Amino acid sequence: MKEKIHPQYHEATVTCACGSSFVTGSTKKTLKVDVCSKCHPFFTGVQKVVDTTGRLERFNRKYGLDKLEG
């Protein structure tokens, strides 16, 4: 590797919006994230219900696609 062209690598603290934190390596000393492995639905197995009722119908009405046949 070439000298003096790479950023400094630090021990970084990652803090999630859920309050969880862990230490990793990064060029920044602190990182803030919205989702981590302790609160992400893939890892927890708990899925939040998102209200999507009517989204497709609203889209079709907005762009006039509900009048198309076929």
Q: For position 61, what pLDDT does the model report? A: 82
Q: What is the pLDDT of residues 6-62, one digit of tens each?
A: 899 999 999 998 899 999 999 999 999 988 888 887 777 777 655 566 777 888 888
Q: For position 22, what pLDDT does the model report? A: 94
Q: For position 35, what pLDDT does the model report? A: 87
In order of their start, the domains of the chain are 10-65 (4.10.80.400)
Q: For position 29, what pLDDT does the model report? A: 94
Q: Where do the DSSP E strands lie in 1-70?
A: 10-16, 21-26, 30-33
Residues 28 and 9: their CA atoms lie apart, in Å, by 8
The pTM for the full model equals 0.55
